[in-house]
Amino acid sequence: MNTQRTGHDLLRRMRRNRATPAVRSLVRETALHSEDLIQPLFVRAGDGTPEPVESMPGIVRHTVHTLTEECQRLEQNGIKAIALFPCIDSSKKDPEGSHAHSPENILFAAIRAVKSASPDLAVITDVALDPYTSHGHDGLLDERGDVENDSTVESLKRLAVAQAEAGADIVAPSDMMDGRVKAIRLALDAAGFHRVGILAYAAKYASAYYGPFRDAVKSGDGQSGKPHKLDKRGYQMDPGNVREALLEVQLDEQEGADMVMVKPAGPYLDVIKAVHDVTRLPLAAYQVSGEYAQIHAAAKLGWLDYAATRDESLLAIKRAGADMILTYFASEVAESLK
């Protein structure tokens, strides 16, 4: 008896919904929009042309002037928010990161300039001490060389309030200190900044993918001007843990976070999905510098289709559950979506 299946008894043909671009667009479950994307930008003191970041093709350290021009261009492409990171001259760094609180901190001038030039653009600022410390850690060190939690939180409170005073719409503590979200929320409210939101780096992993970012902000270059390798496993999360991430998110929710983040994004899609399933807060994911650099490197060697891989990587992050994505691809993807 011939039991071979024939085409005549196939009632469900999955390919019918893939037949044409129009049909595929109708049934597509996840789509990427310009409003989903946040562009990280770097700013330095001084004038002149932007400085290229060698390990991140197409990314530069802006001056305040070129930063405002870039923000206006981003707005025209449909980008609604930027994340701003300062690159501080090594001569201004010390073990306490005291320049973070100086009125001469280039970050404050940059925030004011962007809000003046692009008042409708949301400015998200990094609340951490690593751009300002000579040792490159995200906090203050104790006598053993470990990052001291509570004194660091006190410094972060001051920095967050100063960023709000300069005009930041959202402050984003990326330090992974315990209790910092509540402390920052109370400090902002006490200073009258009830409308300034907190995007908590809730699940920030001690990842090997951060190298190019540390190059961009010259983190840990100290007085020598030469970056050195940093071990941040004492405060950033173990890459092997997922349940811990859910607890971190829960704590940040309880402490008053308005949004939470998973960082990195691509290697942690399972964490994004797990967090998405337990929180009702808006969820961000940060496609970090190493993810960006590896796509560029493989494409340069001809091993990957650059645009297709770029877009697929972002779609995967959105599909996993991210409501917004910080990505160095934001500008060019938004332009392509137009």
204 classed as catalytic: yes
pLDDT at 1: 53
What's the mean pLDDT in 202-226?
A: 82
In a domain, 221, yes or no: yes
Q: Is the pLDDT at 225 greater than 60, yes or no?
A: no
pLDDT at 78: 96
Q: What's the pLDDT band for 335 if we cut at 50, 70, 90?
A: very high
Catalytic residue among 93, 115, 232, 263: 263
In a domain, 96, yes or no: yes
Whether residue 63 contacts residue 46, with contact meaning beta carbons closer than 8 Å, is answered with yes
pLDDT at 306: 98
In a domain, 19, yes or no: no
pLDDT at 230: 87
pLDDT at 8: 74
pLDDT at 310: 98
In a domain, 289, yes or no: yes
pLDDT at 308: 98
pLDDT at 220: 64
138-182 tens-digit pLDDT: 999 999 999 999 999 999 999 999 999 999 999 999 999 999 999
Q: What's the pLDDT band for 219 if we cut at 50, 70, 90?
A: confident
Tally Cβ neighbours within 10 Å of residue 41.
Answer: 24
pLDDT at 3: 55
Q: What's the pLDDT band for 218 if we cut at 50, 70, 90?
A: confident
Q: Which residues contact 269 (CB under 8 A, 6 or more apart)?
A: 316, 317, 320
What tokens appear for 297 in the block? 């490197």
In a domain, 138, yes or no: yes
What's the domain count of the chain? 1
83-125 tens-digit pLDDT: 999 999 999 999 999 999 999 999 999 999 999 999 999 999 9
Q: Which structural domain, as residue segments, surrounds residue 328?
A: 32-337
229 classed as catalytic: no
Catalytic residue among 204, 218, 232, 318: 204
9-49 tens-digit pLDDT: 899 999 999 999 999 999 999 999 999 999 999 999 999 99
3-state class (DSSP) for residue 305 = coil
Give the percent of the chain with pLDDT over 90.
Answer: 92
Q: Which residues are paired to 44 by β-bridges?
A: 87
In a domain, 6, yes or no: no
What's the mean pLDDT in 286-302?
A: 97
Q: What's the mean pLDDT when you consider all of the chain?
A: 95
In a domain, 27, yes or no: no
pLDDT at 226: 52
pTM (2 decimals)? 0.94
In a domain, 5, yes or no: no
> Residue for token digits 């595929």?
24
3 versus 325: which is more confidently predicted?
A: 325
| Strand intervals (E) in the chain | 37-44, 51-52, 60-62, 81-87, 122-127, 140-141, 147-148, 170-173, 197-204, 259-263, 283-287, 324-327
What's the mean pLDDT in 298-321?
A: 98
CATH of the domain at 65: 3.20.20.70
